[in-house]
Amino acid sequence: MASKLTNSHSSSQYGANPVKKDEIRLNEMGSEVVEGYTCKPKDYDPERAIMHYKTLLLLCDDERCGKAGKTDMASELREILKEMGLNKGENRIKVSRTGCYGTCRFRQVCQVTGNTQANGNTKNNALWLKNTHLFKEEKWREIFKLLSEDKTLREELDKEAFIPMKVYY
């Protein structure tokens, strides 16, 4: 994964590019950001809608998967999405870290969730990717492009990328 990428999305004060004293910066929702943070809004509005996303990637960052990944994968993926213009808008892909899924043998695990309440592809819902810590940047870019184009991941990626699931009909 490219090391030149910097984290500019995390709400954590430990992000790589926090707002400095006297600097005024707006986050992706157009709110002024708190000093020391990278996207935490100054004005808290509990009624404000969350940003739309078409696809949610739930990346396990718990002990076993986190160690397998070695790097802060979520931050790196967010930077790639930003470069690709998929960090906002109707094709937005949101990346969130999760705790252990109990599927550590497939680590690092990433669940793909299509926002079927909105414009997500139903066939890209409830997919589980395995060994994502081995994915190169090019592979992630391919996945992001496929998702943004509403392609069905199971038809486009090698089946080895997926964790099999027992299904009842």
Q: How far apart are CA 15 and CA 9, in angstroms?
A: 8
With contact defined as beta carbons under 8 Å apart, do 73 and 63 qualify? no
Does residue 163 interact with ligand FES by CB under 6 A?
no
Q: Which stretch binds ligand FES (CB under 6 A): 25-33, 48-56, 100-108, 143-151?
A: 100-108
Cα–Cα distance, 13 to 1 (Å, whole number) = 23
Identify the residue among 103, 115, 125, 152 touching ligand FES (CB under 6 A): 103
Taking CB under 6 A as the binding criterion, the range among 58-66, 69-77, 127-135, 148-156 that sits at the site for ligand FES is 58-66
Q: Does 162 bind ligand FES (CB under 6 A)?
A: no
| Separation between Cα atoms, residue 111 and residue 48, nearest integer Å | 26
Tell me the residue length of the chain.
Answer: 169
From 92, 94, 107, 130, residue interacting with ligand FES (rule: CB under 6 A): 107
Asked whether position 110 contacts ligand FES by CB under 6 A, the answer is no
Q: Does the footprint of ligand FES cover residue 92 (CB under 6 A)?
A: no
112 touches ligand FES by CB under 6 A:
no
Pick the stretch among 11-19, 103-111, 128-136, 149-157 that binds ligand FES (CB under 6 A). Answer: 103-111
Helices 73-83 and 137-148 pack at an angle, to 10 degrees, of 50
Gap between the Cα atoms of 167 and 134, Å rounded: 27
**What is the size of the binding site for ligand FES (CB under 6 A)?**
11
Beta-bridge partners for 128: 111
Q: Measuring CA to CA, how many Å separate 139 from each of 21, 32, 97, 143, 163?
A: 38, 34, 19, 6, 17
Stretch that binds ligand FES, among 22-30, 98-106, 110-118, 128-136 (CB under 6 A): 98-106
Task: Decide if residue 131 touches ligand FES (CB under 6 A).
Answer: no
**Chain residues that interact with ligand FES, rule: CB under 6 A:** 60, 62-65, 100-101, 103-104, 107, 109
